[in-house]
Amino acid sequence: MSDQPVPDDVQPGAAGREALTPDGAQALRAYAARTRENADLLAGVLEDIALNGLPDPADCTPWEELRERKLAQLHAARGHVA
């Protein structure tokens, strides 16, 4: 931890931890919410597979097609793909 004083708008961290700024804490909470949402989505898919079994490959979209679709979306959004 630094020896600099903590600004008034920052809640002090727990003992032995460095405090975050309000923006930093909010960014972490937003990341945690997105991660939790993604985990819930994945859990739902896994539960569906456990209940109903694997889908018929003929009904699935090949990963190459999904990749190309995603690359096209990225290209349209950014104008380029790295």
DSSP string, 54-72: PPPGGGSPPHHHHHHHHHH
Q: Is residue 4 part of a domain?
A: no
Q: Does residue 17 sit in helix, strand or coil?
A: coil
Task: Tell whether 50 is covered by a domain.
Answer: yes
34: in domain: yes
| Residue 70 is assigned to a structural domain of this protein | yes
In a domain, 8, yes or no: no
Q: How far apart are CA 57 and CA 53, in angstroms?
A: 12
10-residue mean pLDDT profile of the chain (82 residues): values are 56 79 94 97 96 93 96 85 54
16 in any annotated domain: no
Q: Supply the pLDDT for residue 7.
A: 57
Range of the domain at 46: 22-78
Q: State the total domains in the chain.
A: 1
Write down the pTM of the prediction.
0.55
* Residue 41 covered by a domain: yes
39: in domain? yes
